[in-house]
């Protein structure tokens, strides 16, 4: 589809910012996106806000202006930002408005997420006995995947080392340090086979995107980027998913596979058309699995691809060019809009030190998280 | 003798010499779910019947939980320094793959495909001293 364009992106750095609220970070990201688009808040006709920790992301209006615009808040796990983006794009497609925004923000406490399993449709005992934890799910998913497809711990370390290295080129990243594969492999084991430096951290940050009806995009942006597809899917029976105490014997493909196929179909594109990729790297194993789930390689091919540097910024399939979740951390409400921010910079050839070579035309972003929700967005020049 | 209680009623048979976990079978389509619930995730039916599941199976995947989960929802109250890491796995039973803590030494060898059997283990203690029990799987001695 060519009916919705992205004319502005903005990002508040990801990290830890004592004394700054998520709402303030969201407002900052929104201002940057509006400046990028060359518009003012009064020009924004509607907005969607995404957050996990903030009940009312729409409170950014206190800092942007009380214009009375319709502003709807969404929360959808790690796919929150994808949901805000999809809803904003669909609102334009409905024809009611021409210009709107998706704004994501969050401010998490350090450490793994903790919540009441009952709120996820899972019994209390699952949490009481120490099973309601996302990191150990990702560990068990990659453990099985490594067994089935011959992926080694070295490949997990290569993914993490690449993402830290890419984060070094991103002034907005959280962990900006080069870590060797040996350091990553030798760091304390958290959930076998995943070590400390193979995981991302929940943290703080915000990102925002200005969208408009494609026909009017050239009024604002010298180089509009088109949102070709934005799709959210949930798990089907038989998928092996986070926060599930069991899985049927007959397996079904993951919700990411469903979202990916639907997005390619919507965009009229395939994985071979994609030039730059952002994947949900909750941990290094997730990036490996998501490479296959999104159609970029067959199961098991990651081992050779990573060894050959194929997913580096200068490789044939650059993945997580801004450092991904591993280097940026994960403020849930903002994470997917950070992906869009990076893809837009890459397609505009404005990504500085981390710019992929050549003339990238198609960008791809994917989110995945509790309790089995995936989002995929495809953008193009 | 230390008083004990299961972490939840209707989750596993207890006390029992050879305990089994309890799932539910859909009255409409016979699909088996764990843990037991009234509604069927396969056909959407809204009546089910409790069924005990097989007590032996094979290890389908595994990890080790090496950091102390946050309380709540975890009910272990041990000081951080006394936390004992535990194994976690999915056990393939004839009826499906179920997630469980793994009983035994944290450093025991774990291998996908190894035979496992159900046991019941204490994992936490209530303020009044009652031990809280849950189901777990352990490797079958060969």
Confidence bin at A221 (pLDDT 50/70/90) = confident
Instruction: Determine the pLDDT at residue A1.
Output: 64
Handedness of CA B32, B35, B37, B39 (dihedral sign): negative
Q: Is A111 an 8 Å CB contact of chain B? A: yes
Q: What ipTM, to 2 d.p.?
A: 0.97
Q: Is A381 an 8 Å CB contact of chain B? A: no
Cβ contact, residue pair A129, B7, below 8 Å:
yes
Assigned token pair, A99: 């210009």
Is B75 part of a structural domain of the chain?
Answer: yes
> How far apart are alpha carbons A353 and A326 in whole angstroms?
19
> Across chain B, what does the average pLDDT equal?
96
| % pLDDT > 90, chain A | 92
Which of A190, A166, A192 shows the shortest CA–CA distance to A179? A166
Is B11 part of a structural domain of the chain?
Answer: no
Min Cα separation B69/chain A (Å): 6
Cβ contact, residue pair A143, B99, below 8 Å:
no
Q: Which pLDDT tens digit goes with each residue over A86-133?
A: 999 999 999 999 999 999 999 998 877 778 899 888 999 999 999 999
Which of B92, B95, B42, B26 shows the shortest CA–CA distance to A237? B42
Query: Which parts of chain A fold into alpha helices (H)?
Result: 22-37, 61-64, 80-93, 124-128, 134-149, 153-168, 181-186, 255-267, 284-293, 302-307, 324-328, 332-347
Min Cα separation B34/chain A (Å): 6
> Across chain A, what does the average pLDDT equal?
96
**What is A108-152 written as a DSSP string?**
PPSSS----GGGGT--HHHHHTT---HHHHHHHHHHHHHHHHT--
Total domains, chain B: 1
Instruction: Determine the pLDDT at residue A114.
Output: 76
**Number of helices and strands in chain B (H, E):** 0, 9
Residue A348 has pLDDT above 90, yes or no: yes
Q: Is B46 an 8 Å CB contact of chain A? A: no
Once rounded to an integer, what is the mean pLDDT over residues A195-224? 95
Is B109 part of a structural domain of the chain?
Answer: yes
Q: Which pLDDT tens digit goes with each residue over B21-79?
A: 999 999 999 999 999 999 999 999 999 999 999 999 999 999 999 999 999 999 999 99
**Number of helices and strands in chain A (H, E):** 12, 12
Q: A375 pairs with which residues across the strands?
A: A232, A367
Q: Are the beta carbons of A278 and A166 closer than 8 angstroms?
A: no
The CA–CA distances, whole Å, from B98 to B102, B135, B140 equal 12, 11, 17
Instruction: Determine the pLDDT at residue A112.
Output: 73
Q: Is A117 an 8 Å CB contact of chain B? A: yes
pTM of the model: 0.96
Is B94 part of a structural domain of the chain?
Answer: yes
Cβ contact, residue pair A125, B7, below 8 Å:
yes
Cβ contact, residue pair A131, B41, below 8 Å:
no
Confidence bin at A370 (pLDDT 50/70/90) = confident
Quick one: residue A206, left, alpha or beta (phi over 0 = left, psi -120 to 50 = alpha)? beta
Instruction: Determine the pLDDT at residue A344.
Output: 98
Just give the CATH number of A4-111+199-380. 3.40.47.10
Which of B21, B45, B73 would best serve as a mutation to test chain A binding (most A beta carbons within 10 A)?
Answer: B73
Chain A residue closest to B67 (CA)?
Answer: A190
Which candidate from A111, A129, A144 shows the least CB-CB separation from B123?
A129
Instruction: Determine the pLDDT at residue A286.
Output: 98
Cβ contact, residue pair A191, B65, below 8 Å:
yes
Q: Is A222 an 8 Å CB contact of chain B? A: no
Which candidate from B66, B75, B92 shows the least CB-CB separation from A190?
B66
Q: Is A125 an 8 Å CB contact of chain B? A: yes
Which of B24, B39, B58, B70 would best serve as a mutation to test chain A binding (most A beta carbons within 10 A)?
Answer: B70
Instruction: Determine the pLDDT at residue B142.
Output: 67
> How far apart are alpha carbons A220 and A38 in whole angstroms?
6
Q: Which domain holds residue B59?
A: 55-139
Min Cα separation B1/chain A (Å): 23
Once rounded to an integer, what is the mean pLDDT over residues A226-241? 95
Assigned token pair, A254: 């993951």
């Amino acid at each position: 589809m060519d009916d919705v364009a992205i004319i502005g992106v903005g990002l508040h750095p990801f990290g830890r910012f004592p004394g700054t609220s998520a709402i303030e970070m969201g407002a900052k990201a929104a201002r940057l996106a509006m400046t990028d688009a060359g518009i003012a808040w009064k020009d924004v006709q509607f907005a969607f806000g995404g957050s996990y920790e903030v009940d009312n992301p729409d409170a950014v209006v206190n800092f942007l202006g009380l214009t009375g615009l319709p502003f709807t808040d969404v929360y959808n796990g790690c796919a929150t930002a994808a949901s805000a983006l999809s809803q904003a794009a669909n609102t334009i497609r409905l024809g009611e408005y021409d210009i709107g925004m998706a704004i994501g923000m969050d401010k998490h406490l350090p450490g793994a997420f903790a919540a009441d399993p009952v709120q996820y449709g899972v019994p209390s005992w699952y949490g009481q006995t120490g099973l309601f934890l996302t990191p150990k799910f990702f560990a068990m998913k990659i453990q099985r995947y490594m067994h089935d497809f011959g992926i080694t711990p070295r490949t997990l370390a290569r993914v993490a080392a690449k993402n830290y290295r890419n984060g070094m080129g991103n002034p907005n990243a959280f962990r900006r340090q080069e870590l060797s594969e040996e350091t990553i492999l030798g760091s304390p084991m958290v959930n076998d086979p995943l070590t400390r430096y193979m995981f991302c951290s929940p943290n703080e940050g915000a990102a925002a995107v200005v969208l408009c009806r494609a026909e009017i995009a050239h009024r604002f942006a010298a180089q509009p980027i088109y949102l070709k597809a934005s799709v959210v899917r949930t798990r089907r029976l038989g998928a092996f998913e986070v926060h599930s105490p069991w899985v049927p014997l007959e397996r079904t493909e993951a919700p990411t596979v469903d979202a990916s196929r639907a997005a390619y179909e919507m965009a009229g594109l395939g994985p071979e058309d994609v030039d730059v990729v952002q994947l949900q790297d909750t941990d290094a194993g997730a990036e490996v699995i998501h490479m296959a789930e999104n159609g970029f390689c067959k199961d098991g091919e990651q081992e050779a691809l990573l060894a050959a540097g194929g997913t580096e910024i200068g490789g044939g399939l650059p993945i997580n060019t801004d450092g991904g979740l591993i280097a940026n951390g994960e403020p849930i409400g903002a994470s997917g809009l950070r992906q869009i921010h990076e893809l837009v910079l890459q397609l505009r050839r404005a990504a500085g030190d981390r710019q992929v070579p050549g003339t990238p035309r198609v960008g791809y972003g994917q989110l995945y998280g509790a309790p089995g929700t995936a989002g995929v967005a495809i953008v193009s020049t | 003798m230390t008083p004990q209680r299961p972490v939840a009623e209707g989750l596993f048979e207890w006390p029992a010499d050879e305990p089994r976990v309890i799932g539910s079978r859909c009255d409409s389509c016979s699909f088996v779910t764990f843990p037991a619930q009234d509604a069927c995730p396969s056909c959407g039916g809204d009546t089910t019947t409790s069924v005990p599941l097989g007590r032996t199976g094979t290890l389908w995947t595994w990890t080790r939980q090496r950091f102390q989960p946050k309380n709540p929802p975890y009910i272990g109250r041990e000081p951080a320094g006394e936390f004992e890491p535990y194994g976690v796995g999915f056990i393939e039973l004839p009826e499906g793959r179920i997630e469980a803590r793994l009983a035994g030494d944290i450093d025991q060898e774990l291998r996908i495909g190894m035979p496992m059997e159900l046991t019941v283990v204490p994992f936490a203690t209530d303020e009044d001293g009652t031990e809280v029990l849950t189901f777990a799987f352990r490797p079958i001695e060969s």
